[in-house]
Structure 1
Amino acid sequence: MSAVALYCYWHRFSKNPFERGSHGKEYYCSPPGTGKSYLAKAVASEANGSTFFSVSSSDLVSKWLGESEKLVKNLFALAREHKPSIIFIDEIDSLCSTRSDNESESARRIKTEFLVQMQGVSNDNDGILVLGATNIPWVLDAAIRRRFEKRIYIPLPDAAARKEIFKLHISNTPHSLTDRDFRILGEKTEGYSGADISIVVRDALMQPVRKVQTATHFKKVSGPSRANPNIVDNDLLTPCSPGDPHAIAMSWLNVPSDKLLEPIVSMNDVLRSLANSKPTVNDIDLEKLSKFTHDFGQEG
C-alpha cells in the first residue's frame, strides 16, 4: 500500500515517476475477504489527481467476435489519454488464466491483447498504474505474471487486526462489549477473514431482534423515547425471563411499536453467532498462497 501511495504522490513532483524505479504494474493475491478491493479504493482516494478505472471480467468480455480485445485496447487507450491514471482489474484470474490447447479463441485473443497493452513496444504506459486482484494467483498465465512487476500477498488479519474489525463493524450499534471482550473475540477468530467477521457481526446484530420475536414475557423499563431520543420514557417494554418479578406475559405483536426497547448487543450474542459460523478459507488454499508467495511474490 505504501508503494502505491508513493507512486500516486510522486506524480506531483516528477514528470516521469518510473525514472526512479516506481512499479507501474502490481497485483494483490490473498485469501477471499481480506480487502483487496478496499485497497484499490484506498488507492483511488489517495491519488486525488489521477483517473481511476475499476473493471472486472464482465466489463471486458463480450459475446461478439473481436469485441472483447477491442474493449481491452480501448481501456488502456482511455487510461493513456487521461494519465496519470490507475487501472484496477478485479478477479484478474478470470481473464488471464494459464493458456491451454482447449481454451477458446476468444479467451486467447483477450490474453494476447492484455500482453500487448501492458508491455507493447509502441505503447506509452508511463504514468499508468495497473493493479490486479486475485484469490488464485497460481492459475495466472506466466507471461501475464511477468508483466506485473510486484506480486503482493495480503495475509489474513492477525488477532489485533481482527479485534479492530469487530469494533469497526459493531461501530455505533448499542452494545455492552468492553475492550477486553473485543480482544477475546480477536483471539477466538484465528483463520477468519475480514469478510467472515463481517458476517458474524451482522448475525450478532440480529440476535436482539430474535429475542424480541421469541419472547413470551416483557417488562417495563426506562429508556430513550423512539420519538425523541433526548426524552426518557418510563414505560418502554423489553424482553425478559418468565421468572422476572416484573414480567408481563405477552408476545411482541402485542407491544406498541413506539414502546418497544430492543436489548443491546451483548458478548453472548456475538459468541452465539460465532459458534454458528466457520471461516471460509481452508488450509489447502492458504498453503497454495504461501507457496506461491515464496516462489513468486512478496509479503504485503
Structure 2
Amino acid sequence: MASGNTIQKAIELVTKATEEDRNKNYEEALRLYEHGVEYFLHAIKYEAQGEKAKESIRAKCCQYLERAEKIKESIKKGKKKPVKDGDNQNHKDDKKSDSDSDDEDPEKKKLQSKLEGAIIVEKPHVKWSDVAGLDAAKEALKEAVILPIKFPHLFTGKRVPWKGILLFGPPGTGKSYLAKAVATEANNSTFFSVSSSDLVSKWLGESEKLVKNLFELARQHKPSIIFIDEVDSLCSARSDNESESARRIKTEFLVQMQGVGHDSDGILVLGATNIPWVLDAAIRRRFEKRIYIPLPEEPARLVMFKLNLGNTPTLLTEDDLKVLAKKTDGYSAADLSIVVRDALMQPVRKVQTATHFKKVRGPSPKDPNLIVDDLLTPCSPGDAGAIEMTWVDVESDKLYEPLITMADMLRSLAVSKPTVNEDDMKKLEKFSEDFGQDG
C-alpha cells in the first residue's frame, strides 16, 4: 500500500510540475520536478517493485531530471520570466523550445516508454546446449547475432549479417525457446520481445507510430534484436476487405524493415510463426532467412528426454531412453516435455494411493549427506516388512521418494498423445520446399 502511495504522490508532483512548466512558472516547476524525482527514487530504493517497473521509473526519472536541468540553465541565463508578445524573436524561440519539450518529446517518450517494457532486462538463462538438435537454425542465428558482435571486422564491405530471420514450424518445436537462447547468448545486444498487444492501439494512427518508435528505440540501443512471436498476427497477407489500421501497421513494418531512408544496420528482426503461408509476400521477402524448425528426430528426442528428466532420481537406463525416443515419433518438444512431466508425477500418485509402506535405508530429506534407516516408501501388501498405513500417517521428513521406472514412463506415454496436425505438417513441408531451408 505504501509503495502505491509514494508513486501516486510522485505522479501528482510531476503532473503539477508539467503544468507549471507549461505556464512558464519555471522556478516552481523546477522545485516540483526535483521533489517528484525524490519520491520516485524512494519508491525504487525502499519499496518492493518488479524489475520492469523499476526500469520504467528510472526512465521517467531521467526524463524529468533532463527537463529540470534545462529549466535550471534557463533560469541562470535570466530567461525565467515570461516573454512579452512584442519580442517576436525571443517569443518564437521560446515557443519552439516549449513545443519541442512539451508537445513532440512527451508524445514520443510516452510511446517509447510503452515499448521499454518489451526490452528483456533479465536474461532467460537458456544456452545453445539446452536446445536439442536444430543445428542449422543455431548456426544461422550465430551468423546473424553472435559473430557480428564478436568479430565486427569480418562483416565489412559486401559481407553483411542477416537482417531478418523467420523461424517457422509446427507448434511446440522450440521456436520461442531458440529466441530465449539468443537473448541469453547475445550479451551485448538489446533484446526486444514484442507481440501484437505491444503494438496495436485503439487510437487511430498510434499503432504505426508504435512500430516506428520500436525501430527507433532499437536503433538507439543497437546492436538490437526484435523478436516478434506469432508474427502472422501482425503481418498476414494484405487484402481488400481488411481494416485500414491493419493495413497501416503492415505498411509501417515493411518501410521500417527495409525502406528508403531507414538504416537497419545492427538490427535483426527475428520472427516466429506456426502458419507461415498466411504471411504477406512482401514481409516474407524481408525475412531473408526462412528456417524450418521440424519435429525432433530420434537422436534429438533422446536428448530431450534427458534434459526434461534433469537430475530427478530414476531407474531408467540409456537403453530405456532409446526405446522411449523410438516410440515417440511425431511428438513435438512440448509434447515430450508433457510426457516427462506426467511421468514425474507418478511417484506422487503412488504415495497418494498406497495402502502399505515399508522401511528403507536412504538419505534424509532434510540433510542428503545423512543416511538413515527409518525412511518409509510405498510398497505392495505382500512385500516383506510391509506396514498397513496411508500417506497421512507418514511424517514429512520420513518419506523416501519412489524412483521413476520405465513402467511410469510407458504409462504416461499411453495417455499423452501428440498434438501436431498432419494437414498442417503437409502445408509446412510445402512452404519449406517453396521458400524455406531446413533447421
TM over 0.5: same fold? yes
Q: Which residue of 1 aligns with 2:328?
A: 189
2:271 matches 1:132: yes
* Contact 1:152-1:299 within 8 A present in 2 as well: yes
Q: Which residue of 2 aligns with 1:2?
A: 139
Deviation (angstroms), 1:4:
2.2
Deviation (angstroms), 1:21:
4.3
Q: Which residue of 1 aligns with 2:252?
A: 113
1:173-184 alignment runs, 5 A limit: 173-184=312-323
2:302 matches 1:163: yes
**What do you get for the CA RMSD once the two structures are aligned?**
1.5
Structure 1 residue identity aligned to 2:148: W
2:432 matches 1:293: yes
* Bigger strand share: 1
- Partner Cα separation in structure 2 for residue 287 and residue 106 of structure 1: 33
Structure 2 residue identity aligned to 1:7: A
- Partner Cα separation in structure 1 for residue 338 and residue 396 of structure 2: 28
Unaligned runs of 5+ in 2: 1-137
Report % sequence identity.
Answer: 71
- Partner Cα separation in structure 1 for residue 156 and residue 290 of structure 2: 19
1:1-300 alignment runs, 5 A limit: 1-8=138-145, 9-11=147-149, 12-14=151-153, 19-300=158-439
Give secondary structure in 2 for the equivalent of 1:257.
coil
Give secondary structure in 2 for the equivalent of 1:181.
helix
Give secondary structure in 2 for the equivalent of 1:78.
helix
- Partner Cα separation in structure 1 for residue 421 and residue 212 of structure 2: 37
Give secondary structure in 1 for the equivalent of 2:411.
helix
Question: Can you list the C-alpha shifts for 1:114-149, whole angstroms capped at 9, x where unaligned?
Answer: 111111101011121111000100011111111111
- Partner Cα separation in structure 2 for residue 268 and residue 229 of structure 1: 27
Deviation (angstroms), 1:15:
8.8
Give secondary structure in 1 for the equivalent of 2:218.
helix
Tell me which moved more, 63-72 or 131-140: 63-72
Give 1 or 2 for the bigger CA radius of gyration: 2
- Partner Cα separation in structure 2 for residue 46 and residue 228 of structure 1: 36
* Contact 2:155-2:161 within 8 A present in 1 as well: no
* Contact 1:16-1:127 within 8 A present in 2 as well: no
TM-score w.r.t. length of structure 1: 0.96
* Contact 1:26-1:132 within 8 A present in 2 as well: yes
Give secondary structure in 2 for the equivalent of 1:259.
coil
Tell me which moved more, 182-191 or 51-60: 51-60
- Partner Cα separation in structure 1 for residue 401 and residue 314 of structure 2: 11
Question: Can you list the C-alpha shifts for 1:70-128, whole angstroms capped at 9, x where unaligned?
Answer: 11111101111122211111110011111223322221111111111111101011121
Give secondary structure in 2 for the equivalent of 1:262.
coil
Deviation (angstroms), 1:64:
2.1
Structure 2 residue identity aligned to 1:221: V
CA 1:204–1:275: 2 relative to 1, 3 Å: same
Deviation (angstroms), 1:18:
7.3
- Partner Cα separation in structure 2 for residue 173 and residue 16 of structure 1: 45
Tell me which moved more, 65-74 or 45-54: 45-54
Deviation (angstroms), 1:36:
0.8
TM-score w.r.t. length of structure 2: 0.66
Question: Can you list the C-alpha shifts for 1:180-239, whole angstroms capped at 9, x where unaligned?
Answer: 111111101001111111011111000000000001111111111122111111111111
- Partner Cα separation in structure 1 for residue 345 and residue 184 of structure 2: 33
- Partner Cα separation in structure 2 for residue 16 and residue 87 of structure 1: 20
